[in-house]
Chains A and B, each alone.
Chain A
Amino acid sequence: MAKYIAKRIGQALIVMFLVSLLTFIMINVAPGDPVAVMLEKQADPETIQRVREQLGLDRPYHEQFISFIKGAVTGDLGNSYFQKEPVTAIVGRGFVITVQLGLLALALSVCIGLVVGTLAALFRGTWIDHSLMFVAMLGISAPAFWIAVLMQLYFGLKLGWFPISGSEQAGWLVMPVICLGISYGASSARLVRTNMIEVLSQDYVRTARSKGLNEFVVVGKHVLKNAGISIITLTGMQLRSLISGAMVIETVFSLRGLGSVSYAAIMSRDIPLVQGCVLYVAIVYVLVNLVVDLMYGVLDPRIRLS
Chain B
Amino acid sequence: MGIFSKRREMQLKDLGFTAEDLASRTLYQDAWRRLKKNKLAMVCLFVIIVIAIVAIFAPLVAPYDPFETDPFNRLQKPSAEHWCGTDDLGRDIFSRIIYGARVSLLVGVVTEGIAVPIGIVLGCIAGYYGGWADMIISRIIEVLGSFPFIIFALCVMFIIGPGILNIFIALGCIGWLGHARQIRAAVIQLKNSEFVEAAKASGASDFDIIFKHLVPNCLATVIVVATIDIPSDIMFEATLSFMGLGIQPPNPSWGSMISEAQDYLRQVPSYSIFPGIAIMLLVLAFNNFGDGLRDALDPKLKNL
> Which residues of chain A have a CB within 8 Å of any CB of chain B?
11, 14-15, 18-19, 22-23, 26-27, 29-31, 137-138, 140-143, 145-146, 149-150, 152-153, 157, 191, 194, 240-241, 243-244, 247-248, 251-252, 259, 262-263, 266, 269, 274, 277-278, 281-282, 285-286, 289
The answer to whether B154 and A146 have CB atoms under 8 Å apart is no
A277-B146 in contact given A141-B280, A141-B283 (Cβ < 8 Å): no
Complex partner residue of A194 from B146, B151, B302, CB under 8 angstroms: B302
Contact partners of B159 in chain A: CB under 8 A:
26, 29-31
23 example contacts (A-B, Cβ-Cβ < 8 A) are as follows: A11-B142, A15-B143, A18-B139, A23-B155, A27-B155, A137-B284, A137-B287, A137-B288, A141-B231, A141-B281, A141-B287, A145-B242, A149-B262, A150-B273, A153-B269, A157-B269, A244-B148, A244-B150, A247-B151, A266-B154, A266-B155, A274-B158, A286-B146
Contact digits for B240-279, partner A, Cβ 8 Å, 1 yes 0 no: 0011000000000001001001100110010011001001
The residue on B at minimum CB distance from A29 is B159
Contact partners of A146 in chain B: CB under 8 A:
258, 272, 276, 279-280
A140-B287 in contact given A146-B258, A282-B147 (Cβ < 8 Å): yes
Contact partners of A138 in chain B: CB under 8 A:
280, 284
* A267 CB to nearest chain B CB (Å): 8
* Cβ-based interface call for B210 (8 A): no
The answer to whether B276 and A143 have CB atoms under 8 Å apart is yes
Contact partners of B209 in chain A: CB under 8 A:
none
Contact partners of B287 in chain A: CB under 8 A:
137, 140-141
Complex partner residue of A262 from B154, B239, B303, CB under 8 angstroms: B154
Complex partner residue of A285 from B148, B238, B272, B273, CB under 8 angstroms: B148
- Distance in angstroms between the alpha carbons of A30 and B159 in the assembled complex: 4
- Distance in angstroms between the alpha carbons of A23 and B143 in the assembled complex: 11
> Which residues of chain B have a CB within 8 Å of any CB of chain A?
139, 142-143, 146-151, 154-155, 157-159, 231, 235, 238-239, 242-243, 255, 258, 261-262, 265-266, 269, 272-273, 276, 279-281, 283-284, 287-288, 302-303
Most B Cβ at <10 Å: residue of A11, A153, A240: A153
The residue on A at minimum CB distance from B239 is A248
The answer to whether A15 and B155 have CB atoms under 8 Å apart is no
* B78 CB to nearest chain A CB (Å): 15
The answer to whether A240 and B265 have CB atoms under 8 Å apart is no
* A199 CB to nearest chain B CB (Å): 13
* A8 CB to nearest chain B CB (Å): 12
* B234 CB to nearest chain A CB (Å): 9
Contact partners of B284 in chain A: CB under 8 A:
137-138, 141
Given contacts A140-B283, A248-B239, A266-B154, 10 further A-B contacts (CB under 8 A): A143-B238, A145-B258, A146-B280, A157-B269, A194-B302, A244-B149, A248-B243, A266-B157, A277-B151, A282-B147
The answer to whether A22 and B143 have CB atoms under 8 Å apart is yes
Contact partners of A247 in chain B: CB under 8 A:
148, 150-151
The answer to whether B146 and A150 have CB atoms under 8 Å apart is no
A281-B265 in contact given A137-B288, A143-B235 (Cβ < 8 Å): no
Contact partners of B276 in chain A: CB under 8 A:
142-143, 146, 149-150
Contact partners of A149 in chain B: CB under 8 A:
258, 261-262, 265, 272, 276
The answer to whether B148 and A243 have CB atoms under 8 Å apart is yes
Contact partners of A240 in chain B: CB under 8 A:
148
The residue on B at minimum CB distance from A245 is B150
- Distance in angstroms between the alpha carbons of A269 and B158 in the assembled complex: 8
Contact partners of A141 in chain B: CB under 8 A:
231, 279-281, 283-284, 287
Most A Cβ at <10 Å: residue of B148, B158, B279: B148
The residue on B at minimum CB distance from A28 is B159
The residue on A at minimum CB distance from B155 is A26
Most B Cβ at <10 Å: residue of A142, A143, A286: A143
The answer to whether A30 and B158 have CB atoms under 8 Å apart is yes
* A187 CB to nearest chain B CB (Å): 10
- Distance in angstroms between the alpha carbons of A141 and B283 in the assembled complex: 5
The answer to whether A18 and B151 have CB atoms under 8 Å apart is no
The answer to whether B279 and A263 have CB atoms under 8 Å apart is no
The residue on A at minimum CB distance from B282 is A141
Contact partners of B147 in chain A: CB under 8 A:
19, 22, 282, 285
The residue on B at minimum CB distance from A158 is B269
- Distance in angstroms between the alpha carbons of A15 and B154 in the assembled complex: 20
Closest 8 pairs (CB-CB, A-B): A146-B276, A141-B284, A244-B150, A141-B283, A30-B159, A18-B143, A266-B158, A142-B280
The answer to whether A282 and B243 have CB atoms under 8 Å apart is no
The residue on A at minimum CB distance from B153 is A244
Contact partners of A140 in chain B: CB under 8 A:
283, 287
The residue on A at minimum CB distance from B158 is A266
A278-B279 in contact given A19-B143, A30-B159, A149-B265 (Cβ < 8 Å): no
- Distance in angstroms between the alpha carbons of A138 and B142 in the assembled complex: 31
Contact partners of A251 in chain B: CB under 8 A:
243
- Distance in angstroms between the alpha carbons of A194 and B283 in the assembled complex: 21
- Distance in angstroms between the alpha carbons of A153 and B272 in the assembled complex: 9
The residue on A at minimum CB distance from B157 is A266
